[in-house]
Chains A and B, each alone.
Chain A
Amino acid sequence: MKQLTVISGKGGTGKTTLVGSFAVLAENKVIADCDVDAPDLHLLLHPEMVTKQEFKGLKVAVMDKSLCSECGTCAETCRFNAIDVTEEATYTVNPARCEGCGACVFTCPQEALSLQERVSGYTYVSTTKYGPMVHAQLNIAEEASGKLVTVVRELAREIAEREGSDLILIDGAPGIGCPVIASLTGVDLALIVTEPTMSGLHDLKRILDVVAHFGVKPTVCINKYDINEENSTRITEFCRQRGVEIVGNIPYDPVVTEAMVAGMPVVEFSEGVVSNAIRDIWERIQ
């Protein structure tokens, strides 16, 4: 069983458009949406939920106001600015900033604070007409999205092993931090989607360094390559120098947005230039 992750450095480059189409083209696979912050793949694949599971990320400090003597020790201890102080010098925990480390619990002389588990999000195992899909939604203002990505991948792996799937197709997280690292470790191939803009080139350099750091084989495709062909040439040249294969270029076409509005993967929606380009890329990366 192979694992392919599609990443982009930055959101909005067309990662989900591509993964949605691969979901149509790939056979015998499990689909995993690892963009747990802002997942969009379900808008194309329309999963029907089979099971829902709580995700417990970091803990959270909870204060018993009746025990608090307002000494302020917790605020002095906390390194994450998670203790809010009012003008009247009363103290409260800001759960959005709390990293659940427990330092305030340890230093509070009144034992007014304790660490409690919190549900930080949910994972879903679903069926789609393209195959099983694992996805998740992090609750608002929660953290530990890297950990949630890991849980999604574990669930996808369990299903793939049970059903003898050939592939886990992963819609990766944006950025270069915690969630993208979690969507990248241990995969066989990373397909990086980039755009021919100055920011696209900048982000591509950074994400290639991340991929190299984790020892994953990178390939690149340029989305909307014809909106600035000089920049596409720049990206191609840069990839050649780095020894990274470009597996395809996708032209700009409003049909991509039309397919999105219709809630369909573009290769299923139309048979035009974009769909052909995506089919070619799929052939190359196999």
Chain B
Amino acid sequence: MIISLASGKGGTGKTTVAVNLALSLSNRHVQLLDCDVEEPNSHLFLNPVIQETKSAYTLVPTVNYELCDFCGKCALACEYNALVVVPKQEVMVFPGLCHGCGLCSLVCPRSAISEQPREIGVIKKGTSGDGSIALVYGLLNIGEIMATPLIDQVKAEIDPAKTVIIDVPPGTACPVIAAVQGSDYCILVTEPTPFGLYDLTLAVAVLRVLKLPFGVVINKAGVGDRKVYEYCAAERIPILLEIPHDKRIARSYSEGVLFIKELPEWRERFAALMGRIEEEYER
């Protein structure tokens, strides 16, 4: 089963739920994928032993000037303006704009364009310090815009024999879609505040477009107001778990410590959350 954790916005406690849930499922084989490749944080809580680091690539065009006659068809075809042809002189390639679609090499009448890999980030694979969780995370290079291909490459590491938990990037745009697609169930983590509610409605809209079953975990319960609860009731969205606004939880997060280690009764609650998800999924 693949369970993704999304939130609309960062800072709602997605990573907290992901790592605590993963560690509470000690009776199963769990794989945690951190697809928040811009700012992955899951590993900070798991003290992982990294067994493998590999580069992730996208493809960018290179021009063979022995074949190129500067006809300009590549630049004309490119929807991203990643190629500019200076007549009889040069084909300028802007790797930062290139999406790696390969169209330029397809349209070139003289087969003058080939594609070369360009590193956009790294993928790290390892095991949590206590050996219980397999961890995979991506780290996008600084200044890089292509998060989606890196997310796809992190997801290519999914082990279908395991219970897979995916930490999804914030927002509602392409990286979120790339991360949640293929999940069996999605947990939306929110806070009971006006910001939390607004971002939750956006995330709900995404999941409805994608037709994924989902439920809500309310973090920092007790702050703010009741509007998130009213919204969930009106929309018939199940509230799977509430995590109270508790100084001990905030403190353990700030220290990079899993709070189920400090507050052991939460181990059972997260395990029960998993049971609840399975029930919801069966329905």
Chain A positions within 8 Å of B, measured between CB atoms, are 9-13, 16, 37-38, 40, 43, 58-59, 77, 79-81, 96-97, 99-103, 106-107, 115, 138, 140-143, 145-146, 174-179, 181, 195-200, 202-203, 206, 209-210, 213-214, 227-228, 231, 254, 257, 260-261, 263
Contacts and interface: CB of A to CB of B under 8 A. Distances in A.
Interface stretch (B86-94, B165-173, B266-274): B165-173
Contacts of B57: none
Which of B12, B171, B198 counts the most chain A CB atoms within 10 A?
A: B171
Interface of B: 8-12, 15, 38-39, 41, 44-45, 77, 79-80, 99-103, 106-107, 140, 142-145, 147-148, 152, 169-175, 177-178, 181, 193-195, 198-199, 202, 205-206, 209-210, 223-225, 250-251, 253-256
Nearest to B174: A143
Contacts of A102: 77, 79, 101, 103
A260 B251 contact: no
A112 B33 CA distance: 38
Contact of A141 (B8, B148, B199, B206): B206
B173 A145 contact: yes
A45 B11 CA distance: 21
A81 B209 CA distance: 17
A100 B77 CA distance: 11
Contacts of B178: 97
Contacts of A103: 101-103, 106
For the complex, would chain A's binding face be called helix, strand, loop or mixed by DSSP majority? loop
Nearest to B12: A12
Given A16-B195, A40-B194, A176-B39, 10 more contacts: A12-B12, A37-B172, A43-B195, A102-B77, A198-B254, A202-B39, A206-B39, A210-B142, A231-B254, A257-B193
B11 A13 contact: yes
B46 to A, nearest CB: 12
A38 B202 contact: yes
Contacts of B181: 96-97
A13 B9 CA distance: 11
27 contacts: A10-B10, A10-B11, A12-B10, A16-B195, A37-B173, A40-B195, A77-B102, A79-B101, A80-B101, A96-B210, A101-B99, A101-B101, A102-B79, A140-B206, A143-B173, A174-B9, A176-B38, A176-B39, A176-B142, A179-B173, A197-B254, A198-B41, A198-B44, A202-B39, A202-B44, A213-B143, A261-B194
A209 B144 CA distance: 12
Nearest to B15: A199
Contacts of B103: 101-103, 106
A210 B99 contact: no
A40 B198 contact: yes
Contacts of A263: 194
Contacts of B170: 10-11, 37-38, 174-175
A207 B58 CA distance: 23
A118 to B, nearest CB: 12
Contact of A228 (B80, B202, B254): B254
Given A177-B147, A257-B193, A198 B142 contact: no
Nearest to B43: A202
Nearest to A103: B103
B10 A227 contact: no
